[in-house]
Amino acid sequence: MGLPRNIRQDLELIEAAPFEDGSPRWRLHDPAANRFYDLGYLEVEILRELRADPSLEIDSATLAKTIAERARVMCNSQQIEEFVEFLLDNDLYWIEGERALDRRKALRKPRWKSLALKIWRQYLFLRIPVLHPDGLLDRLLPWTSWAFRPRTWWILAGIWVLAIYLTSRQMDYFLNTFVGYFTPAGLVYFGIAVILAKVLHEFGHALAARRYGCSVRAMGVAFLVFWPILYTDTTDAWRLRSRRKRAMIGAAGMIVEMGVAAICLLLWNFVPDSFLKNILFMMSTTTWLMTLLINLNPLMRFDGYYILSDLAGVENLQDRANAMGRWWLRERLFGYGRPAPEQGLRWLVPFSYAVWVYRLFVFFGITYIVYSYFFKALGVILAAAQVVRLLVMPIGREVRHWWESRAESQRRYRRRTSFVAAILLLAAVLPIDRKLELPAYWQARAVVTFYAPIPGQLSVLPAPGSDTVSAGSEVVVITSPDLEFQLEQANHDLRSSRYQLERTSFGAGLAQERLSLQAKLEGALETQENLQAQLNDARLVAPFSGRISDRQADLRPGDWVSRGDRLLTLVDDTAGEVVAYVGESELRALREGASGRFYPEGGVRGPQQARLVDVDGFSLEALEAIYVASTFGGGLDVRDGTEDELIPQRATYRIYLETDAPADDRVLRGQLVLDAQARSLAGMLWRQIVGVWRREAGI
């Protein structure tokens, strides 16, 4: 059977940079799909023969012989048939008639499946072309040619040095300027500066690409996880043979921003305070710093990734690194004995693992953003879909490959891997964790501070040498001559009112007078009770036996005090109390009467034994004590509420423990290590996931 000869005429064959081993390379461009395929010398010879005379029929064996005779390249029928299959799979043939219809039906997926797959893959990254800039770039190139000359770069370097020197002369003012931008107006300046910087950044890429003869297909706005960013399509740069030129296109945006930042920083030193000065400050600081932090990162497919790919001469860097990473992992786990996908590029292995770890953190960030952007039910569904797509499916494919290749693995590698996997599995499922580490604070069991309830004179006060008092004894007595005089006056009024009331007859004409005397009597009685209560409150009684602490050193019996003056503190120092906070997922692990050890923060005291005595039956709506709050350096994650409350980030319960260790009135923050029911790591993780799912899904 003859080979198909009707290769599409719109395909472009471009000579490219050699392969890593020095062999020649060509790049086949499919303009319809905007795809590039790397071809070697043999593939180009096959392609040349297939396109030579479409009217002639030729089979794979004859073609292999022809190539061997003409191009002095040895090949076989299988190599030719595999290359033809590659051309067919990528729609690089022009097929007509029933054969074309059958081929299209085989390749075309059902419309609804294709649409669903497109939404599934692209709803987090959408591109909206705004400008096809080739014409504009051609008009701009003559005016921007100076930017590509080394002399310009040296001038910009000199501007940087001068700008930094001038700024250093007023560094305090420069640094204090940052504080002024944490305002609504500052955010407006920042937004304007970012837009200007990013537009210049993208035109830097576009002008560099056009200068080296590449077409810039589109410039526009892309939405990356719902966040708008500008983009420039410079995929045509793959036409270039020079890796240096491709790297220059990738770096052009950052170079432009750095040059603009240098000029803006220099001008900032001369422009008076104004709207323009604010924009110059932003463009000389935050915008280019953000650009370097993001775009220079080679672990994501931004400018830094493509620059590294071009400078290292490793195209499709991430795919090839992933292949090396999977190969290394498979060989260490199962010892297949397969050759490395890339020879002499072992640095791709740690690079691939760095990408995996970094993308794992990015994945969790994307999942959280997806959940946050939608209403709760849809957010949970989309977040779960991202977990399946970005985590479960890749791991599942790798595990399936392990299973399908199990016959190729070596026995000693299988045994070692199985042993390690069994140990890890047992560590995950066996209930071995018997400790809870909880944020807590330790305080005396009972503490009371006495304040002067009335202004007056101290008649009773513990002597300086006496440190303890018993329950029910008078600790402080305050007398008030003014209140005592008012009390005597009230008693006199009370007796007078009673006497007048008793002497008044019950005549019909005196009814109104009796009512007036009765009201006066009730008022005198109320005044007497109030004054007597104040004098009684001035006799401060110890509610429990304890030790006197924080006595005001300058107070003596006979001294005068004002209302609200702090007098002394009484502490029950026989034992202390530990208050700790436990999450809902850990609540089940608590045991009645469980013991633990409290470790004070900072080593001010040694660890103390404690016993669980009580657990709140409801979760906290707001944190009542600031000692353990994360905003104050504690270990409990909280957020600010609407009324300056501290709200725990998750369902949290308060527990109480008693300790026999003597305590004082100081509150000691620390950590409680409490004995609990044995739990497995897998069980704890599963309960945490289920708890979050139920809470967020409203189940």
pLDDT for res 525: 82
CA atoms lying within 13 Å on the CB side of residue 301: 7
Burial of 391 (0-12, 13-18, 19+ CB in 10 A): middle
CA atoms lying within 13 Å on the CB side of residue 245: 19
**pLDDT range class, residue 424, cuts 50, 70, 90:** confident
Least Cα distance to 523 among 502, 496, 493 occurs for 493
pLDDT for res 512: 67
CA 608 → CA 183, 235, 462, 577, distances in Å? 48, 67, 32, 11
- Each residue's pLDDT tens digit, 449-470: 888 888 888 887 776 666 778 8
305 in helix, strand or coil? Answer: helix
Domains and CATH numbers, the chain: 12-108 (no CATH), 119-313 (no CATH), 317-429 (no CATH), 435-442+571-697 (2.40.30.170), 447-561 (no CATH)
If you average pLDDT over every residue of the chain, what do you get?
79
Extract the tokens encoding 21. Answer: 């081993």
Whole-number percent of the chain with pLDDT over 70: 84
Report residue 673 CA to chain centroid gap.
28
pLDDT for res 617: 80
Least confident range from 190-194, 349-353, 512-516: namely 512-516
Angular region, 536: left φ>0, alpha ψ -120 to 50, beta rest: alpha
Whole-number percent of the chain with pLDDT over 90: 2
CB 559, CB 551: distance < 8 Å:
no
pLDDT for res 112: 47
Q: What one-character DSSP code corresponds to residue 218?
A: -
pLDDT for res 34: 65
Mean pLDDT across 259-273: 86
Distance CA 464, CA 568 (A): 12
Phi and psi of 12, rounded to 5°?
A: -115, 130
372 in helix, strand or coil? Answer: helix
CB 561, CB 553: distance < 8 Å:
no
Q: What one-character DSSP code corresponds to residue 4?
A: P
Mean pLDDT across 70-79: 78
Mean pLDDT across 354-376: 76
- Each residue's pLDDT tens digit, 123-171: 566 788 888 888 888 888 889 888 888 888 899 889 989 988 888 888 8
Extract the tokens encoding 182. Answer: 């944490």
pLDDT for res 375: 64
Distance CA 82, CA 95 (A): 18
Extract the tokens encoding 608. Answer: 């103390």
- Each residue's pLDDT tens digit, 220-242: 888 876 778 888 888 888 778 78
130-160 burial by CB neighbour count: b if 16+ within 10 A, else e?
eeebeeebeeeeeebeebbeeeeeeebeebb
- State yes or no: pLDDT of 354 exceeds 50: yes
Show the CA angle centred on residue 214, arms to residues 210 and 219, nearest 5°.
70
Place of tokens 């071809």: 39
593 in helix, strand or coil? Answer: coil
Mean pLDDT across 536-550: 80
Q: What one-character DSSP code corresponds to residue 3?
A: P
Q: How far apart are the first and last CA of the chain?
A: 64
Using DSSP bridges, classify how beta strands 433-451 and 668-679 pair: parallel, antiparallel or unpaired.
antiparallel
**pLDDT range class, residue 339, cuts 50, 70, 90:** confident
- State yes or no: pLDDT of 688 exceeds 70: no
Place of tokens 């006595």: 551
Extract the tokens encoding 296. Answer: 């220079």
pLDDT for res 584: 77
Mean pLDDT across 277-296: 77
Mean pLDDT across 201-212: 90
- State yes or no: pLDDT of 347 exceeds 80: yes
Mean pLDDT across 515-520: 75
CA 17 → CA 21, 39, 68, 638, distances in Å? 11, 11, 25, 57
Burial of 10 (0-12, 13-18, 19+ CB in 10 A): exposed
- Each residue's pLDDT tens digit, 314-324: 777 888 888 89
pLDDT for res 135: 87
- Each residue's pLDDT tens digit, 553-586: 777 888 888 888 888 888 877 778 888 888 877 7
- State yes or no: pLDDT of 115 exceeds 60: no
655 in helix, strand or coil? Answer: strand
CB 451, CB 569: distance < 8 Å:
no
Report residue 468 CA to chain centroid gap.
53
Amino acid at residue number 525: L
**pLDDT range class, residue 534, cuts 50, 70, 90:** confident
pLDDT for res 518: 76
- Each residue's pLDDT tens digit, 90-109: 777 776 555 555 655 555 54
**pLDDT range class, residue 628, cuts 50, 70, 90:** confident
pLDDT for res 162: 92
